[in-house]
């Protein structure tokens, strides 16, 4: 049987691409760990050693440590956004969608401390980021404004308020580890809803809605529910 020209070439390419994706993911995970620990001055050699890859592999993917750190933060944001999407995909009412994502995000800070530290280390630049929680929150806020659920007029102002509240919440949970996370998160979420014009009774009802159990996420891989890897 004749083999068509070029047949069999795809499999090695796929293996190469998968290997490149694994290498990139290892570098990103290593960088995320250093960022979460506040070790921003770590040399590239130490990053490659933590990732268990060669120095040459680093430059196959990134031109500089700064580019890697940017990618590490973007991947973390996208992972958290994708995770929230999994748990909130069926919610169509915009105010409920917004507060559910906020309540879940607040709880994730307690269940995933490395991701929380990573995001807090870049808090000032994340509120209006194009990745992760911010675009989803702005979309929900704008939809709630259009539906007459929120009385604020500017979704960017709403995003600034929500982002500031979330960063403050994450800091509080980090600095006060003995606080009950669920109660604290829901108290902040309810206050935010009231700021946006939701009545106290409605806010309490929205913050009392059941949430999925997130306890298993403490042991889930960092790239769950789906790896955000590129083979570039």
The model's pLDDT over 58-94, given as tens digits with 9 standing for 90+, comes to 999 999 999 999 899 888 888 888 888 888 888 999 9
Say whether pLDDT at 27 is over 50. Answer: yes
Mean pLDDT across the chain: 84
Coil, helix or strand at residue 82: helix
- pLDDT, tens digit, 9 for 90 and up, residues 93-134: 999 999 999 999 998 888 777 777 777 877 767 788 888 889
Please give the residue that has the higher pLDDT: either 86 or 232: 86
Give the whole-angstrom CA distance, residue 219 versus residue 222.
Answer: 9
State the pLDDT at residue 187.
97
Q: Give helix then strand counts, H and E, for the chain.
A: 11, 0
CA atoms lying within 13 Å on the CB side of residue 213: 2
Comma-separated ranges of CATH 1.10.357.10 domains in the chain = 66-212
| pTM (whole model) above 0.85 | no
CATH classification number, 9-62, choose in 1.10.10, 1.10.357, 1.10.3470, 1.20.140: 1.10.10
Residue 6's pLDDT is 47
Asked if residues 92 and 98 have their Cβ atoms less than 8 Å apart, the reply is no
Mean pLDDT value of segment 208-227: 63
CATH 1.10.10 maps onto the chain at: 9-62
CA distance 119 to 145: 27
- The class that CATH gives domain 66-212 is mainly alpha
pLDDT exceeding 90 applies to what percent of the chain? 50
Residues 77 and 126: beta-carbon distance below 8 Å: yes
Residue 37 has pLDDT above 50, yes or no: yes
pLDDT-derived band at 193, boundaries 50, 70, 90:
very high
Report, as an integer, the average pLDDT of 138-164. 96
Please give the pLDDT value at position 217: 55
């Amino acid at each position: 049987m004749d083999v068509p020209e070029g047949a069999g070439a795809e499999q090695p390419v796929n293996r190469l691409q998968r290997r490149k994706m694994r290498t990139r993911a290892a570098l990103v995970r290593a960088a995320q760990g250093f960022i979460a620990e506040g070790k921003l001055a770590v040399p590239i050699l130490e990053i490659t050693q933590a990732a268990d890859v060669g120095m040459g592999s680093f430059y196959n993917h990134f031109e500089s440590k700064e580019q890697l750190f940017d990618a590490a933060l973007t991947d973390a944001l996208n992972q958290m956004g994708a995770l929230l999407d999994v748990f909130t995909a069926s919610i169509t009412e915009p105010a409920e969608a917004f507060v559910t994502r906020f309540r879940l995000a607040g709880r994730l800070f307690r269940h995933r401390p490395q991701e929380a530290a990573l995001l807090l280390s870049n808090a000032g630049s994340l509120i209006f980021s194009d990745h992760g929680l911010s675009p989803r929150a702005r979309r929900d806020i704008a939809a709630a404004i259009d539906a007459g659920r929120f009385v604020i007029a500017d979704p960017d102002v709403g995003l600034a308020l929500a982002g500031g509240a979330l960063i403050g919440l994450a800091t509080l949970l980090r600095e006060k580890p003995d606080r009950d996370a669920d109660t604290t998160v829901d108290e902040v979420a309810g206050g935010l809803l009231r700021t946006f014009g939701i009545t106290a009774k409605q806010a309490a009802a929205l913050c009392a809605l059941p949430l999925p159990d997130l306890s298993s996420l403490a042991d889930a891989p960092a790239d769950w529910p789906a790896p955000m890897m590129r083979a570039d």
